[in-house]
Amino acid sequence: MLYLDNSATTKIHPEVREVMLPYLLEEFGNPSSKYYNAAENAKIAVDNSRKSVAKLIGCHSDEVIFTSGSTESNNMFLKGVAHYYSSKGKHIITSKVEHPSILETCNFLEKQGFDITYLPVDNFGRINISELVESLRNDTILVSIMWGNNELGSLNDIKTISDICANHNIYFHTDATQVVGKIKIDLEDFKGITFLSCSSHKFHGPKGIGAAFIRQDEYRVLTPITPLLHGGGQEKEIRSGTLAVHNIVGLGKAAQIASNDLNLNIKNLKDCEKYLSELLSTKFGANIKFNHDHKLKIPGILSVQFKGINNEILLKKLAPIIAASTGSACSSSKPSHVLSAIGLTLDEIRSTIRFSLSSYTKKEELDIFKSL
Ligand code: PMP
């Protein structure tokens, strides 16, 4: 079976699995404990993973907070900023095509009296910069715009958004879940990004672990937010809870591999995407239409309409040989809010399939499409 649902999750890398095992078995100590080996070793492993994640996204390791993944980080940033800065303002700006972990959190905050602006997007799912600027207000406390979209692969102009937020002194959060490991990220070049979310299982690490970036100032003080989880004060009192050392070690290894192989992986994703696009065009001609932009995108994500065919029926038929999805795995029963926001009709949405490749997909494997 050819697995092409890598935006939903990826297969764990064999080296990641290997480094995790000792931390599930003999090195089971709590890194917050002291003096004995199992605890000290766990602490060292956590510190090393933090450095690997920091290297992957170009920040200081003190700016990396481990969470359970992007759903938690997104909740933490939106609620954490809203609660900490509510006396300063109650306005938050986001976009219509964000992941449900942003949109549902915004919905929750609206019920608590916050005012949310949902920016529309263009045909490929990008926000319009002038609309962002026009929506900024004196009481805006946060802008949260995803780096790359999980259904269409389109990339927002994060550099410009980051500069605008920096110039206006407004905190900027970006959900980078789909881009980490697939584009080069150096947060040194994006000084306006205050917060970033990413998730290990999207780049061949384990599930249930992610990293949240929080920018520190020149005195190495992290931008304050109200924690989502209160408790023992782990992770600089921002995210309490005993650290999941085996998962953190797995995330660290996945980050290290992603950093080392980044250029190679990007090239493979681009080559395979081009190859699959050509195969599909040759095979189906005018019976298919690509929803995604071919430029300025995350390599390896294809959103394809199979005209006149129901996507659920097609996916079921393909399932024994090809695993793909209708869009986001998180909300696959509802018609996609992303495809609706780019102006697709219900029929067009119901005939769309997303193929998402991995760094390890091989061109030869894609030849299976020739025999469909
Ligand atoms: N944001 C985006 C853009 C995603 O694609 C996902 C995962 N589908 C998430 C957030 C949630 O990530 P996690 O699975 O780590 O909670």
Encode pLDDT of 314-336 as tens digits: 999 999 999 999 976 554 568 89
Instruction: Decide: 99 in ligand 1 pocket, CB within 6 A.
Output: yes
Q: 71: Cβ below 6 Å to ligand 1?
A: yes
Task: Give nearest CA residue, ligand 1 atom 5.
Answer: 150
Does residue 146 line the site of ligand 1, with CB under 6 A?
yes
Can you say whether the dihedral through the CA atoms of 108, 71, 62, 144 is positive or negative? negative
Known catalytic residue at 198: no
78-100 per-position pLDDT tens digit? 999 999 999 999 999 999 999 99
pLDDT score at 327? 77
Model confidence pLDDT, tens digit, residues 158-199: 999 999 999 999 999 999 999 999 999 999 999 999 999 999
pLDDT tens-digit map of 106-151: 999 999 999 999 999 999 999 999 999 999 999 999 999 999 999 9
195 phi and psi angles, rounded to 5 deg: -135, 145
Evaluate if residue 346 carries a pLDDT over 80.
yes
The protein residue with its alpha carbon nearest to ligand 1, atom 13, reads 70
pLDDT at 227 over 70: yes
Provide the pLDDT for residue 333.
66
Among 13-27, 323-337, 355-369, name the one with the lowest average pLDDT: 323-337
With 0-12 / 13-18 / 19 or more C-beta atoms within 10 angstroms meaning exposed / middle / buried, residue 286 is exposed
* Catalytic option among 59, 165, 272, 330: 330
Residue spans of beta strands (DSSP E) within the chain: 2-3, 64-67, 91-95, 115-119, 140-144, 171-175, 195-199, 210-214, 288-290, 301-306, 322-323, 352-356
pTM of the model: 0.97
| Mean pLDDT of the residues in the chain | 96
pLDDT for position 245: 98
